[in-house]
Amino acid sequence: MTFDDIDTTQINVGSNDRNATSKTASAGHESLPSLQASAPLSCRSSSAKVKTVQLWDKSKDDLMKQLGELKADLGQLRIQKVVSSGSKLNKIHDLRKSIARVLTVINAKQRSQLRLFYKNKKYAPLDLRPKQTRAIRRRLSPEDKARVLEKAKKRETHFPQRKFAIKA
C-alpha cells in the first residue's frame, strides 16, 4: 500500500477510536466537516507567540489586521476543542496572551498620540494626568502657594515683624 492509495477523508488526526465512531455517526451533519478542516498556513504561523518588540514597528492598520487574524484563530481553536477530544489549551492560552499583547501595543500607541495632542493644552483628560496621591493632587500649586493677597501685603508693610536684640 502506498501513500497515494490511502483515502484522506477517513483519517482522523489526533483523535482516538471512540471519537472516530461518533464523528462518522454524525457525518450527515453538513457543518461538522467544515469545522474539522485544518487551519490555512497563514493562520498556523500567527498562532505562535507574538513578540511585543515586533509589534511596535507596525502601523495601526497592520495591528488591527493581526488582531483580527488572532481572534479568528482563537475561535477556530475553541471550536476544535469542542469537536475533538484533543486538548488545545496551550495554543488557546498562547493566542489569548498574543491578543492581549497586540491590544496593549495599540492602546499604548493611542495614549502616546493623545499625550502629544494635549501636551501644550491647558487641560488634559483625567486618565492622561499623573496619578500621584489624592492629597498631592489637591495640594496648592507652587504659583498659588507663592501668591499673597492684597490685605496680607498691607498688613506686612504696615506692621512689620519686630526685631529684638538679646543682651548676653
Residue 36 makes CB contacts below 8 A (sequence gap 6+) with: 23, 80, 83, 84
CATH of domain 58-120: 1.10.287.310
Q: What angle do CA 81, 86, 89 make, to 5 degrees?
A: 60
Q: Are 55 and 102 in contact (CB under 8 A)?
A: yes
Q: What angle do CA 95, 102, 72 make, to 5 degrees?
A: 45
What is residue 19's predicted lDDT score, i.e. its pLDDT? Answer: 43
CA distance 44 to 37: 13
What is residue 47's predicted lDDT score, i.e. its pLDDT? Answer: 52
pLDDT digits (tens, 9 = 90+) for 97-113: 999 999 999 999 999 99
Torsion angle, alpha carbons of 83, 89, 94, 98, to 10: 50
Residue 81's CB is within 10 A of a number of other CB atoms, namely: 15
**Residue 140 region by backbone torsions, left for phi larger than 0, else alpha for psi between -120 and 50, else beta:** beta
pLDDT digits (tens, 9 = 90+) for 23-71: 444 444 443 333 334 444 334 444 568 899 999 999 999 999 999 999 9
Task: Grade residue 96 by pLDDT with cuts at 50, 70 and 90.
Answer: very high
Residue boundaries of the structural domains of the chain: 58-120
pLDDT digits (tens, 9 = 90+) for 76-93: 998 888 888 667 788 899
pLDDT digits (tens, 9 = 90+) for 134-168: 999 999 999 999 999 999 999 999 999 988 888 87
